[in-house]
Every structure is written in structure tokens, then in C-alpha cells.
Amino acid sequence: MFQPGLKGITAVETKLSNIDGARGLLTYRGIPVERLVEKYTFEEVAYFLLYGDFPDESQLETFINQLKRTRQLPLYIENILNLFPKEMQLMDVLRTVISAFCKDLGETEDSMATKLIATIPTIIAYRYRQMNSLTFIAPNQSLTHVENIVYMLTGEINKEHAKILETYLLLTMEHGLNASTFAARVTISTESDLISAITSALGTMKGPLHGGAPSGVIDLLEEIETSDNIREVIHKKLQKKERIMGFGHRVYKTYDPRAEALKKRIVEMEDLPNWIQLALETEQETIRILQRLKPNHRLYTNVEYYAAAIMKTLNIDVALFTAIFSSSRIVGWCAHALEQLENNTIFRPNALYVGQ
């Protein structure tokens, strides 16, 4: 059987997540993501995905300490970062730097996973501040994983922003056999190593068909500018047969549960920024228009729509979007790579020969 892009082909068994696109459900190890974001932290959900159970108090403390200990970049990695040309894009930097990591003597794939989860945000922050000629802000050991990300990027300890970012990171940690996760599993299936698997995943995530959508939503909202323009801009785009960015999803044919959970977190903010108000109004009006003009399709906002709203609210540069997404999906990549090793078969599909 020939199936381009392996669409619809089941290639692995997984206990990590389940997506029910018709009902708008996403679960990690059986628990709906909406419940996870209400009750658990980044560290707890990362542990749960990697190890299959929630940590008890002492396991959590050990895991948090491991993450904190490995936030700091090794000196040779800082030296490599200082060598790159200024115009090198962040995802290229991330992919290259991760491939330069090496396992310490006796280090297991499990502890390597923790190290990679801990250091990716530091690499992003280091490079971001370097690109903007700002001094690097070293990780702060007193902060949680996500508070520390906000701190290293902005120099501020902002718990409200950290809570919002944490919601986004939790909701995007894992999503089945997407292209980058598949790439990670293919690489580790040769009994290569975790660093190589994550390097493959980062190279795959970089593509605009996978990791690059929220910037299109920012462009859309900037074009709309005020709520009076919503109808006109959306109608004009649809007349030109353009897609409305942040709407529709290949798998979810009803509300994307991640978009709903993110929206819930955003509207809890103390002072709702004007920009968020505009995003909320644009969502409602666009859904009404799409229902009228495309009655046969169920088009709602996807996770990228509110991801864009979050990035804008937190004043995170567009250049960082795909890298920040990678700083959450790294958990899913590592968990899948470890799961692949538990019962490994090398991936070796056939190619249909159509040449002479």
C-alpha cells in the first residue's frame, strides 16, 4: 500500500497521549489536558510524561533539583554560542548547540532528557539577549522552571506571566506522532542516542508547516487593528480565498481543547490587554462568518491562535516562537524516544519505485 506522507497509517503504539479530534479531547496518559493545567506544574507534568506516574514529594524535589542544576550552560556551549554569526536563526542555533551536547560518563538517557529539558530555555534566552545586544541573565535557582524562563528573557520575575506561559507549555508538550516526534522516534530507533533524536526533532520542528504558525496570527490581528475592522478584513481574505490564520485544524473538527484552555487562562488576567480583547472579538466574529460562508466545515480557533495572544501579551519576540514551542515539545520528544527504546523496531518503510 502506498500512502504519501504516511497519512492515516498507524506506525507506533503509545501510552503518552490520545487525540480525539471529533470530540475535541486531548489526554496525556489518560488525563485531559484541561485538568492537568488546572492542577499541576510544568515539572510535575514533565515527570508524569517521562516516567508514567506523578512524582511523590521526594521524587519531585529530586527532579526539580536536577532541572535546576542543569539549567546552567557548560562553558564550551557558551563558547560555541559566541561563535555564531548574528544573522543565524534561533532554530538553527538551537539545533546546532543541542547536537554539541555530549553524555557525561555513566549518564543515562533519562538524566540526559532532564538535562535537555532544563537547558533549552537557557540556550534560547542566551541567544535572544545576544541577538539584541543585551547582557545574558544567568538562571535563577530560586525560581520554578517557567518563572526562570520569563526571568532569563526579560530580567523580571513576573508570576502572572509565568503562569500564562506555563499553561501554554503544558498544553503543547505532547501531541501524538506529529512530524518532529516521528523524526525523534525514527532516529532513536536505529539505537542512536537521545541527543541525535532531539537534534532531528529540532530540524523537523523548524519547518513552517509544523512549528511556525503563530506569527501569522499576529500579522492578522495587526492588520485588523481595531474591532471595527474585523468583518471587513476577514471578508476580504475569504474573498481572496486566503486562510484565516489560527482557525481550523487537521485533526480537531470541533474546538481545539488547547485553545479553550489557553483562552480560559488568559481571560483570568487582572487587566485584560486591549490586544487580547481584540483577539476575543475577532474569534467570535470570524467563527460567525465562517459558519455562514463555509457551513460544511467546522472551523474554530486552534492552539496557535491563543499562543499568538500569549506571546504578544508576554512581549515575546516573533523570532522566539518556534523555539519556545520546542522548549515544551522537548518533553514529548524525550518521552517518545524513551518509549521507542522500550520495545524498539527500526523504522524502515518501503519506497514505491516509479523510475525507469
Applying CB under 6 A, the residues found at the interface with ligand ACO are: 213, 243-250, 294, 297, 299, 302-304
Indicate which residue of 161, 175, 249, 336 is catalytic: 249
Told to judge if 285 belongs to the known catalytic residues of this protein, a careful annotator would answer no
Residue 97 or 245: the one with the smaller Cβ distance to ligand ACO is 245
Residue 118 or 311: the one with the smaller Cβ distance to ligand ACO is 311
Instruction: Measure the CA–CA gap between 143 and 146, rounded to whole angstroms.
Output: 8
Residue 115 or 336: the one with the smaller Cβ distance to ligand ACO is 336
Residue 224 or 244: the one with the smaller Cβ distance to ligand ACO is 244
Stated as kind and residue range, the H or E segment containing 108 is: none
Closest CB 10 distance from ligand ACO, rounded Å: 19
Instruction: Measure the CA–CA gap between 124 and 94, rounded to whole angstroms.
Output: 7
Closest CB 283 distance from ligand ACO, rounded Å: 12
Closest CB 290 distance from ligand ACO, rounded Å: 6
Name which of 84, 80, 121 is nearest 102 in CA terms. Answer: 80
The single-letter code of the amino acid at 145 is: H
Strands across the sheet containing 31-32: 17-20, 25-28, 31-32
Instruction: Measure the CA–CA gap between 46 and 49, rounded to whole angstroms.
Output: 5
Which residue's C-beta sits nearest to ligand ACO?
248
Closest CB 309 distance from ligand ACO, rounded Å: 13
Residue 131 or 307: the one with the smaller Cβ distance to ligand ACO is 307
Residue 139 or 246: the one with the smaller Cβ distance to ligand ACO is 246
Indicate which residue of 43, 166, 304, 339 is catalytic: 304
Residue 250 or 348: the one with the smaller Cβ distance to ligand ACO is 250
Closest CB 235 distance from ligand ACO, rounded Å: 12
Q: Inter-axis angle of helices 321-342 and 303-313, to 10 degrees?
A: 130
Q: What is the rounded (10 degree) CA torsion for 55, 57, 61, 62?
A: -60
Closest CB 114 distance from ligand ACO, rounded Å: 26
Three cell numbers at 206? 523548524
CA angle 200, 204, 208 (to 5 degrees): 160
Told to judge if 249 belongs to the known catalytic residues of this protein, a careful annotator would answer yes
CA atoms within 13 A on the CB side of 352: 7
Closest CB 247 distance from ligand ACO, rounded Å: 4
Instruction: Measure the CA–CA gap between 267 and 281, rounded to whole angstroms.
Output: 13
Q: Read out DSSP for 57-81?
A: HHHHHHHHHHHHHT-SPPHHHHHHH
Q: Which residues contact 271 (CB under 8 A, 6 or more apart)?
A: none
Instruction: Measure the CA–CA gap between 340 and 139, rounded to whole angstroms.
Output: 32
Q: Is 120 exposed, middle or buried (0-12, 13-18, 19+ CB in 10 A)?
A: buried
Active site residues: 249, 304
